[in-house]
Chain A
Amino acid sequence: MCTSIVEVVGVDGMAKRGDEWFALTQAVVAYDHARHAPLGDVITLDFINASLDPGARAGVELTLDSAKQLLAALDRAITAAEFEETEVRGKGAPTLVRAA
């Protein structure tokens, strides 16, 4: 890794490859060389299951601007979701159950 800009976080959830969904163990956020996007460096998001084969991966390469827009959208959605959970549904609302 040439830039050293890598963040790894454990996650619960699922991702899709082809027609198959798989449980996630980690999300990896990096700013490093693009493999496919026609850019030099990109924000790379990889959603993976480290206990499965390397193909258990949903990968995305984004421009910095796109990543910022995605971050802002996530912030808005999470804020609204937290409001929904606490103020509308109240405590005890169903949460995501880990599938693996």
Chain B
Amino acid sequence: MAFYRGMTCENVTINGDKGTPITAYVAKPSGAGPFPGVVLIHHLPGWSEFYIETTRRFAHHGYLAICANLYQRAGEGNPDDVAAKVRAEGGIPDAQMVGDTAAAVQWMRAQANHNGKVGLFGSCSGGRHAFIYACQKKDVDACAELWGGRVVMGKDELNAKTPVAPIDMTRELSCPLIGIFGNDDRAPSPEQVHEHEAELKKHGKSYEFHRYDGAGHGIWYWHRPLYRPEAAMDGWSKVLAFFKKHLAA
């Protein structure tokens, strides 16, 4: 095999929450496999190029990867505009996200060259969503939560779309968790990350948290001033090692 693995990328249609067809971008590494899988849950800025590129990056590292467009119901368009419309609508319901992500997990498990293991990956609101999914479902084997905001929520923040604070779901977490956080972040703040960790400890969950000084929110976003190359590369190595450990057949 060449040092740089080839891959095949395409858009597929999956049956999301309540059977609604949604589009997902998939990247499949070249070769016979079997390959472990990563399901990516995109961030607040939507089904953005960063997430499409990150989907390919996981394929480059030998993972079948899929990233569903959770904002598709808001209409077709530039991901920026679609995300702005979703924000105006108050975001997407947590339950709908779980239904859409379940469809992506099912797609993964249906692939002939899949090794039977699935990791979840999400940052920002996607980090929060990944944690929620790993608490509500039992069909994933590892979860990477990167600077998930609003895992800790006040009662005044709860509403019909986000009825339960994710931290209150911790008891149900069904797989090992890795967390990547910047100590200058305010959403989540370091205090909220400590609270998140304390709840994981309280319930005896398998987890590892990595906190970075001099970094805030969106440490890996190479296109934003939030990018912190050293922390990003260290974080990538931590996540890849975590998935290698938990997603081996």
List A residues at the B interface (Cβ < 8 Å).
1-4, 6, 8, 26, 28, 30, 32-36, 38-40, 44, 46, 48, 50, 53-55, 57, 59
* Interchain Cβ contacts under 8 Å between A and B, 26 examples: A1-B125, A1-B150, A2-B147, A2-B150, A3-B149, A3-B187, A4-B157, A6-B87, A28-B87, A28-B88, A33-B45, A33-B124, A35-B80, A39-B225, A40-B216, A40-B217, A44-B84, A46-B87, A48-B84, A48-B85, A50-B89, A54-B84, A55-B81, A57-B81, A57-B85, A59-B81
- Given the known interface contacts A50-B85, A57-B84, the answer about A2 and B44 at a Cβ–Cβ threshold of 8 Å is yes
Task: Pick the contact of A3: B74, B77, B186 (CB < 8 A).
Answer: B186
Question: Closest residue of chain A to B187, judged by CB?
Answer: A2
Interface membership of B90, Cβ < 8 A: yes
Q: Is B224 an interface position by the 8 A CB rule?
A: yes
Q: Which residues from B are CB-within-8-Å of A32?
A: 44
Interface residues of B in 27-55 (CB under 8 A from A): 44-45
A65 to B83 alpha-carbon distance, docked (Å): 25
Task: Say yes or no: A4 contacts B76, CB within 8 Å.
Answer: no
In the complex, B229 has a CB within 8 A of chain A: no
Q: Does B105 have its Cβ within 8 Å of any Cβ on chain A?
A: no
Of B44, B74, B157, B186, the contact of A54 (CB 8 Å cutoff): B74
B218 at the interface (CB under 8 A from A): yes
Q: Mark B174-216, 1 if CB is under 8 A from A, else 0.
A: 0000000000001110000000000000000000000000001
Asked whether, in the complex, the Cβ of A54 is within 8 Å of the Cβ of B87, the reply is: no
Chain B proximity of A24: nearest CB distance (Å): 11
Tell me the bound Cα distance from A8 to B84 in angstroms: 11
In the complex, which residues of chain A have a beta carbon less than 8 angstroms from the beta carbon of B224?
Answer: 33-34, 40
B76, A53: Cβ atoms closer than 8 Å: yes
In the bound complex, do residue B124 and residue A2 qualify as a contact, i.e. CB atoms below 8 Å apart? yes
Complex: A54 Cα to B87 Cα, angstroms:
11
CA distance A44 to B81 in the complex (A): 12
Task: Mark B49-85 against chain A: 1 for CB-CB distance below 8 A, else 0.
Answer: 0000000000000000000000000111110111111
A33 and B218 contact, CB distance less than 8 A: yes
Q: A54 contacts B75, CB within 8 Å? A: yes
Residues of B within 8 A of A28 (CB): 84, 87-88
Q: Which residues of A contact B7 (CB under 8 A)?
A: none
Bound CA span A34–B147, Å: 16
A40 touches B226 (CB 8 A): yes
